[in-house]
A = this chain, B = another copy of it.
Amino acid sequence: MRLANPMRRRGLAIGIDIGGTKVAAGLIDASGRVLAEARRSTPGHDPREVEAVIVELVRELSAEHHVWSVGIGAAGWMDLAGSTVLFSPHLAWRNEPLRENLERLLRRRVFLVNDADGAAWAEWRYGAGAGESRMVCITLGTGIGGAMVMDGRLERGRFGVAGEFGHQVIMPGGQRCECGNRGCWEQYASGNALGREARELAAANSPVAQELLRAVGGRIGDVTGAVVTRLALEGDPASVELLEEAGEWLGLGLANLAAALDPGMFVIGGGLGAAGDLLLEPARRSFARNLTGRGFRPAASIRPAALGPAAGMIGAADLSRIAARR
């Protein structure tokens, strides 16, 4: 038996995850393993600068490997063909043929992926959702990202913008959302929502908020969802309560999604997912209490994501590999 030369291993792809502050890239093999990583700060909004950073990262990671394709993941909406950015909060591209530009620069097949779609696909292929025929993946970060894998397909909708679960209106007339509406789910169950509630609690100067205030040296503006999550994991009762509230809203929204989509599993990832059962246990209770038809139907499980922050780049790489085979 002759071992394949790893330098020429088939099926290597690069996944790139463009975030608000950094661009992370990974060399991913066909079983979803991250073989190498590289990262840069996200340059300003100039499309040419972002393209230059992508080219640099791909050159670095492909110097010693044959790479078949590159998947680019970012927040925002990509067209169904994976060619054009319709809208992205962190990218200045608007209806630009990003894929075409990058394929010319990289001389490789390129595929554009919504970041939540990439993470969901990775969790279904290699992570918590493996083997589940109907999986909904929720990424709790500053907002709520969502995506679904139905019967082995990433279900992206008619125009490629499905999965915006965070913008189901769950409280008409409620908190204002960046999307322009009021009462969106992500205003109640995201990391940003957690931070906002904690800042309100701190600003009320409640005795229960003393730990929160101490943690930020009294600078209320520095209280974020991440701070609350850390304090809750350390046992601060007020922070535990704040996570419980967020978890209850999370469970209510999941019950709405279960009514509509009836998945077998919800996979919960993203930064706020780090809170683990402090968030997920209240979510499970609230889900069980709010699920329509409870008692007469099987119910989805609610599980933490398995792949961590690399999920996005792993999924983007894998989707680019699949698109390149077509």
Contacts and interface: CB of A to CB of B under 8 A. Distances in A.
B167 A170 contact: no
Interface in A142-165: 146, 150-151, 153, 155-165
Given A150-B155, A158-B300, A169-B290, A260 B163 contact: yes
Contact of A264 (B87, B158, B171, B177): B158
Contacts of A134: 157-158
Contacts of A169: 170, 252, 255-256, 290
Nearest to A133: B158
A238 B257 CA distance: 35
A185 to B, nearest CB: 9
A289 to B, nearest CB: 9
A86 interface: yes
A156 B262 CA distance: 8
A163 B146 CA distance: 18
A31 interface: no
Contacts of A170: 169-170, 172
Nearest to A153: B151
Nearest to A264: B158
Contacts of A42: none
Interface string A93-113: 000000000000000000000
A317 interface: no
A179 interface: yes
Interface in A282-296: 290, 292-294, 296
Closest 4 CB pairs of A and B: A157-B262, A167-B292, A158-B264, A162-B262
